[in-house]
Amino acid sequence: MKNIKKLTLLHSNDMHGDFLAEQVDENLVGGVSLLSGYISKVRQEEENVIYCIAGDMFRGSIIDSEYQGLSTIQIMNMLAPDIVTLGNHEVDYGIAHLLFLEKCAEFPIVNANLHIKTNNTRLFEPYKIIEVGGMKILFIGILTEMVLNDCKKDDLIGTFITVEEAAREVGKICNAYNALDIDFTVLLTHIGFEEDKKLAALLDPALGVDVIIGGHSHTFLEEPAIVNGIPIVQAGTGTDQIGRFDIMIDTDENKIDSFTWKPVPINEKTCPRDLAMEDIIKNYKDVTDAKYGRILTKFTRELSNPSRYMETEVGNLLTDILQDSLGVDIFLLGSGSIRTKKLGPIVTKGDLMETFPYDDEAILTYWTGRQLKHGIMRMLRDEAFFGEHTEFYQVSSGLSIEYDMLTHSFLKFDFKGEPVTDDRIFTVGLQEYHFRNLVDSFDLKIEEIDENHKHRAIATSCAQVLEEILIQGQHQDAKIEGRLNLHLTEEAKQALAERGR
């Protein structure tokens, strides 16, 4: 007779400082108070419950930015996850600060492959075995190349780059600890949904990996993807939902006997409020409201930013401000830098910080027309529209690009009404983060563009430029102009629609 035990596995990812509930159709949705209430409710109803977070607790809110993640750690301590893995935004405030925040955390943080290059010493514990209901559950944390984007200034910090290397590292850990009679193995990853599927396909079934709980690509699923017999899940982004596994584990065979999984909406109809959590949030919010409630400007209307993979009104406004203020031909603004779906019509300092929380330098670079077309072609590669978490850019006025995905060709590539010639030199402004990642984003090397003219910093803070210019003008507006006219396949449109839900 089988020895079957039940495990309830709750999971979040890419919370990005989404602490506050929002009013949607007269109902409160999301926020850590309701999320905490749901987790506590499940812990009371079920015997064996584990709650885990698959990276990116940080960034995206004023509360997080103002306290550089320390507020987030305190809030997460009250949320009391059993296990957390790192996301790429965990290193936004620097590796040294992250190690300080880890000391403040009252929960374990695992990562198997972030290390010091000189001696390969891991910066975090690679795994954690949690015992619950007489079962031993092994959690392994994996983060691949995206973390390097924020660590490139630090030559001593590295990570294993590819999913193949990650698979080998998982194999080492599973081989070393399966002898401890592990009943169930969970990979907590922050590499994106498509990379999770590649990783699952590489894993030898003998290693005993049972599920992959992922993050980074903000993928909302109705049901798990099954690859190589391994269910792969994510729970979108923010705190509007949580993923829930109810798993029957065969502890004799150390494998899944059966399971159900579903995304659970977090709202006031289904989740009780955590009043103690609300008190903590209110304390932080009162401070940030007093500091950041100052009104900067008023737009003619609310501007939208529905997707990072398209031209948006907010993107056009911000790129044009940076282009005009810094005097460059073109400004390419990372779409991922814009963290909210809308802005205005009243814009406070806090609104601007939530929309654009990054404080990079602005770097002046020089590109030929050929390099510009090559870089934009790289940005528009198919992977950008099918679930991989690639960089995408908002472009400033003057550029008019028409791209056909079916033929992978430009139907139009103009600047100020004239076709871009290969030998023309353009001044191009970039945020420092994206300048450091020219190869990943544009398939160009710094040395290549420096051959045209050496780059230099032209502003110490893009955020300060935006704030100063917004203060100076009222009734600003921005419209979709066809700067990026993308002819996508129906499959790509559907994929983008699913990612945006």
Whether 300 and 320 map to the same domain: the answer is: yes
Tell me the C-alpha distance between 252 and 50, whole Å: 21
**Total structural domains within the chain:** 2
Residue 289 covered by a domain:
no
Neighbours of 214 (CB within 10 A): 32
Radius of gyration over every alpha carbon of the chain, rounded to an integer in angstroms: 23
Question: For residues 89, 95, 96 and 99, what is the CA-based torsion angle, rounded to 10 degrees?
Answer: 70
Residue pointed to by tokens 């590489």 = 202
The dihedral through the CA atoms of 251, 253, 257, 262 has a sign that is: positive
| Burial group, residue 145, by CB count within 10 angstroms (0-12, 13-18, 19+) | middle
β-strands 184-189, 135-142 pairing: parallel
Q: What is the pLDDT of residue 467?
A: 95
Q: Are residues 431 and 462 in the same domain?
A: yes
Q: Is residue 99 part of a domain?
A: yes
Which one, of 226, 3, 9, 2, lies nearest residue 138 by Cα? Answer: 9
Query: Do 203 and 333 fall within a single domain?
Result: no
Question: What single string gives the DSSP state of each residue in 263-278?
Answer: EEE-BTTTS---HHHH
Tokens of 369: 């027309």
pLDDT along the chain (501 residues), means of 10: 91 90 80 96 96 89 86 94 91 83 94 74 88 95 66 53 81 80 93 91 93 92 95 94 96 91 93 93 90 93 94 98 97 94 94 91 98 97 82 97 96 97 98 93 96 97 96 89 95 78 49
What is the phi-psi region of residue 181: left when phi exceeds 0, alpha when psi lies from -120 to 50, beta otherwise? Answer: left
Looking at the fold, whether 106 and 199 belong to one and the same domain comes out as: yes
Q: How far is CA 423 from the centre of its chain?
A: 36
Same domain, 273 and 382: no
Residue for token pair 């004239």: 418
Same domain, 301 and 227: no
Do 493 and 358 fall within a single domain?
yes
Same domain for 256 and 357? Answer: no
- Joined together, the tokens standing for residue 292 give 């950041």
Token look-up 């010639």 returns 421
Do 251 and 152 share a structural domain? yes
Task: List own/partner pairs for 285-289 with CB under 8 A and 24 or more apart.
Answer: 285/20, 285/63, 287/66, 288/62, 288/63, 288/66, 288/350, 289/350
Among 245, 263, 283, identify where a domain stops: 283
Strands across the sheet containing 425-431: 393-395, 330-334, 425-431, 362-368, 456-459
Asked whether the CA dihedral 66, 98, 281, 341 is positive or negative, the reply is positive
Question: pLDDT value at position 196?
Answer: 93
Q: Are residues 211 and 314 in the same domain?
A: no
Encoded tokens for 16 = 């990005």
Q: Assess whether 135 and 155 both reside in one domain.
A: yes
Any residues with CB less than 8 A from the CB of 397 and at least 6 apart, and which? 316, 319, 320, 323, 481, 483
By residue count, the chain amounts to: 501
> What amino acid is encoded at 319 in this protein?
T
Which token pair is 59? 């960034």
21 φ, ψ (degrees, to nearest 5): -70, 150
CATH number of 470's domain? 3.90.780.10
Phi, psi (rounded to 5 degrees) for 161: -80, -50
In a domain, 288, yes or no: no
Q: What is the largest CA-CA distance in the chain?
A: 76
CATH (domain of 19): 3.60.21.10
Is 102 in contact with 109 (CB distance < 8 Å)? yes
Q: Give the orientation angle of helix 275-292 with respect to helix 70-79, to 10 degrees.
A: 160
- End position of a domain, from candidates 283, 310, 341: 283
User: What local confidence, expressed as pLDDT, does residue 132 receive?
Assistant: 96
**Residue 490 in domain:** yes
- Separation between Cα atoms, residue 6 and residue 436, nearest integer Å: 47
Domain containing 366: what range?
A: 294-499
Shared-domain flag, residues 351 and 238: no
Residues 34, 239: Cα–Cα separation, whole Å = 9
Q: For strands 342-343 and 303-304, give the pairing.
A: antiparallel
pLDDT on residue 147: 46
The residue type at 11: H
CA–CA separation, 408 and 328 (whole Å) = 28
Give the end of a domain, one of 221, 253, 283.
283
Residues near 181 by Cβ (< 8 Å), separated by ≥ 6? 136, 254
